Structure 1
């Protein structure tokens, strides 16, 4: 891997709070590449990044090449959140995004609590949280309020 590629990759992931790694349930090869993408995320992103594995095209039941059980097992082994979606008919798409946002919100709340208690592990969380903001574009006020109700964080 070239030095230039590593610099671009690191800059691309820097500051990311969450990521969705999406594969096509009808193409085994796309699932086989998931481990490499997760490895790259973990190598270049912050260690608190929330990663969600998404199996898309779940509506194409007759063409399925990746059993749900395989993906779920991988997600559990890697500590990832998991969902299957259909971009075609919208099944679970909103739910997946809101779950990811809810988990990111929990991480930010945890860092905020650590910040209130001073530096943790030599990290100045006040500096790392400065300017942190999560924008939900296209979500209705009802959906956002529902997401906040789901959160287990009280900050």
Structure 2
């Protein structure tokens, strides 16, 4: 499902990692992008990002993942990076109840500043520390169901469900984007037919629309084309 970074891609999807500080966002990203884990990982300053190419069906997608700082003093900076985001991993630490209680405020920011159709996966990280759990599995599931989110528990340390969490988000974004492209093409066909019919009835020249409309191009988020 994964291809070379340098291979030409069909789509570019921007996504973000968000949540409180020290919940493991940076290690989730490094595990997904480079299959690395760093025990001495330092807090993110502002925003960092990484890429990875993923194949979904017959399309190659370049996922651009932004890792946002969880500290309060960076909130004004990081919220601006939500704009244009098609997906998000909303992360909490299953061993720290306070990080789960903060999920509502992060979700509010994602929905305020992100894409209207943003795909959000709620992630309970540090599953390897299950013996110190403060947030039950059912708590995460219930919150996700109420808010219409996907949900998964992960461990960046042991590489449990990390791939699945990112791929679930990317696949869902692809489904939504593909549907928008189909709808745009359908609308284009309908408009072309209406213009042709009107032209024939009126005895005027038939107008031929271009094969690609601007709305379709914007919806596809193509790159390297």
TM-score of the superposition, structure 1-length normalised?
0.73
Q: Which moved more, 1:6-15 or 1:32-41?
A: 6-15
Residue 47 of structure 1 aligns with which residue?
A: 116
Q: Structure 1 residues 125, 81: CA separation in 2 closer, same or farther (over 3 Å shift)?
A: farther
Q: Which runs of 5+ in 2 are unaligned?
A: 1-73, 189-213
Residues 132, 14 of structure 1: CA spacing in aligned structure 2 closer, same or farther, 3 A cutoff? farther
- Give 3-state SS (helix, strand or coil) of 1:65's partner: coil
Note if contact 1:114-1:125 (Cα within 8 Å) is conserved in structure 2: no
Q: Give the number of the structure with larger relative contact order, counting CA–CA contacts within 8 Å between residues 6 or more apart.
A: 2
- The offset of 1:131, in angstroms, is 3.7
Partner of 2:216 in structure 1?
A: 126
Contact 1:51–1:81, Cα closer than 8 Å, also in 2: yes
- Equivalent in the alignment of 1:102: 171
Greater displacement, 6-15 / 93-102:
6-15
Normalized per residue, which structure has more helix?
Answer: 1
Any conservation in 2 of the 1:50–1:100 contact (CA below 8 Å)? yes
TM-score by length of 2: 0.51
Identify the residue that residue 81 of structure 2 maps to in structure 1.
12
Closer/same/farther in 2, CA of residues 10 and 36 from structure 1, 3 Å limit: closer
Report how many aligned residue pairs link the two structures. Answer: 125
SS state at 2:128 partner: coil
Q: 1:64 to 1:49 in 2, by over 3 A?
A: same
Q: Which has the larger radius of gyration?
A: 2
Distance in 2, Cα, partners of 1:55 & 1:130:
31
Partner Cα distance (1:20, 1:96) in 2: 8
Deviation at 1:9, TM superposition (A): 5.8
Provide runs of 4+ in structure 1 moved above 3 Å: 5-11, 130-133
Q: CA deviation at 1:132?
A: 3.5
Task: Structure 1: state its 5+ residue gaps.
Answer: 134-155
For the aligned residues, what is the CA RMSD?
2.2
2:49 corresponds in structure 1 to none
Change (3 A) 1:89 1:12: same
